[in-house]
Amino acid sequence: MRLLAAAALLLTSCAQAISSNSTHSPTARALPNDFSPPQVFKNLNLLKHINLEKGYVRETVNVLIENIDQQPQSKYYVPFSNALIGKVGGFEAWEKNAEKNGKFEVETTQFLPQSQYFIINIPKPLEPSSRLTLSISYYLLSALAPLPPAIEQNDKQYFTYTFSAYAPSAYLTAMQRTKVKFPVADIPEYTTTNGLKTGPGPDPEKQGTTFTYGPYNTKDVAPGTVEPITVRYEFTRPIITATLLERDLEVSHWGGNLATEDRYWLQNNGAHLAKQFSRVAWSMKTLQNSPSVAISALRIGLKPGAVDPYFTDEIGNVSTSRFTPGQGTRGAMLDIRPRYPVFGGWKYSFRIGWNDALSSFLRKAKSGDTYVLKVPFLDSPKMPEGVQYEKIDLRVILPEGARDVKFELAGGVGLPNDVQSEITLSKSFMDTVGRTVLNLAMENVADEARDAQLIVTYNYPFFASFRKPLTIFAGMLSVFIATWAIGNIDVSIKKR
């Protein structure tokens, strides 16, 4: 009985160690409905790069700014229309040629009637008449439209993208130009301007797969003026979109294992098929080994120690997969093929999973009971056309009794700007109060963020590690005592 009491006391102390449920979400800055950014900056020269080589749009702006106010200024506003703000992801800013000094802090604003803003906080306020070259980078998801929207199975696929020759800005811009990079040279339609360009030559100027619009002298053009430009170009690959990715990372101290499972809801946002799918035509195209507008295979790079991979969908195990183990510092590779080619408008959901040695990702602090877990933020398919994620739900399942959980995303580019977090409990076999779970939710993420690391720190007391074996021991002991007690009940029939 003393042993049972000690076990109960230890379980109670472990239960008290777990942190309570909590939520966290970045707060957007509230601005008045009639807000207009103060005209404290001037854009002296602006160069905008638009990259259309992937299934989503990557835009980078290099702008030389000057403080035209009488006071030091540190907040630079970047506007986006309400129709576009929901497609923006991975917004980042830094000082050009000084990225090693770190990226600037970026804030978002709450909903406004006309537009919303990203606020770039310059670490060292810019003095009056001082200048700084800003580099601003972001991507736009689901911003491309197929034209025509439906094609024959072996026809070429074309997309259109519309932007403004005058880069959207909250400040007056003296000079600007835009460069557009296409994936191929087949660009049958594009807007030409008349009388906007400063200097001789056509507008745009074409050099291979790059178009240059401008330069434009816009010192007399009001901020926010729009001059639409539309380009139509061939895209020879699918538009891979994950409408939802559920990612679970399960940490086991006793087993020394990190189990990863990714559940994808995938679809192709390319042009739809105008007629029924032909297996014969598909087989002939496959034999030619030419690029296809259908999703036919995915390649996912894993860490060198990855083992026990699996690939399943609603029907069950999918045998059309191949796993190449890692050797030395070379990572493993998981090649998977869906049961059918995923053409434009088609969908395919599946799950993949594997195990890793926990020692490759977890370390213990020199003092105390603090652990640091460093895992890949995404194990995204490495595809030349890229992968865009509309929504990601990520769970880090920690041992039962873990508390004081904190996280951060480090490294990489294009990290999500808004991450919702919550600490919950999840019960599984032989748990008492449940395992601690860090839940992260985010939207508008591109596969460029796969190089980032998710760092989770938590406190795991020494006695909490005995929770599971003591639970099993107490359960078995209870069964033994119950069996012994029942066996000693006298159920014989006696004469009175």
Q: Is residue 167 part of a domain?
A: yes
Residue 493 lies in a domain: no
| pLDDT tens digits for range 267-307 | 999 999 999 998 888 888 888 777 789 999 999 999 888 99
Residue 28 lies in a domain: no
Q: Which long-range contacts (CB under 8 A, 24 or more apart) does 5-9 make?
A: 7/470, 7/473, 7/474, 8/474
Are both 135 and 94 inside the same structural domain?
Answer: yes
Residue 5's pLDDT band, with cuts at 50, 70 and 90, is very low
Is there a single domain that holds both residue 243 and residue 210?
no
pTM: 0.86
Q: Is residue 490 part of a domain?
A: no
Final residue of a domain: which of 234, 264, 293? 234
Q: Sign of the CA dihedral 360, 366, 371, 375?
A: negative
Q: At which of 218, 234, 250 does a domain end?
A: 234
- Is residue 56 domain-shared with residue 100, that is, in the same domain? yes
- Find the helix packing angle between 2-17 and 467-487, rounded to 10°: 140
Instruction: Give how many domains the chain has, as a whole number.
Output: 2
Q: Residue 494: inside a domain, yes or no?
A: no
Shared domain check, 185 and 52 = yes
Residue 362 belongs to some domain of the structure? yes
Residues 374, 465, single domain; the answer is yes
227 and 242, same domain (yes or no):
no
Do 51 and 97 lie in one domain? The reply is yes
Instruction: Give phi and psi for 308, each to the nearest 5.
Output: 55, 50
**How far apart are the C-alpha atoms of 162 and 206, rounded to whole Å?**
18
Distance CA 171, CA 76 (A): 9
Phi–psi pair at 360, nearest 5 degrees: -80, -15
Q: 417 with 86: CB under 8 angstroms?
A: no
Instruction: Say if 75 falls within a structural domain.
Output: yes
User: Could you tell me the pLDDT band of residue 118, with boundaries at 50, 70 and 90?
Assistant: very high
| Distance from C-alpha of 172 to C-alpha of 219, rounded to nearest angstrom | 7
Radius of gyration of the chain (CA): 29
What is the domain extent for residue 181? Answer: 41-234
Q: Could you tell me if 224 and 244 lie in one domain?
A: no
Condensed to tens digits (0 to 9), the pLDDT of residues 134-162 reads 999 999 999 999 999 999 998 999 999 99
* 112, containing H or E segment: none
Look up tokens 């160069």; give the residue. 47
* 190 and 322 share one domain: no
Q: Which amino acid is at 465?
A: S
Distances (CA, A) of 23 to 388, 420, 437, 453: 26, 8, 12, 22
Asked if residue 302 and residue 351 are part of one domain, the reply reads yes
3-state secondary structure of 212: strand
Residue 35 falls inside a structural domain: no
State residue 418 phi and psi, 5-degree precision. -135, 110
| Token pair of 471 as six digits | 């639970």
User: Do 250 and 214 share a domain, yes or no?
Assistant: no
Strand pairing class (370-376; 419-426) = unpaired
Apex CA 442: angle with CA 438 and CA 443, to 5°? 165
- Domain end position, chosen among 209, 234, 259: 234
Work out the pLDDT band at 494, boundaries 50, 70, 90.
low
Position 373 confidence tier, pLDDT thresholds 50, 70, 90: very high
User: In CATH, what number is assigned to the domain containing residue 46?
Assistant: 2.60.40.1730
Same domain for 15 and 55: no
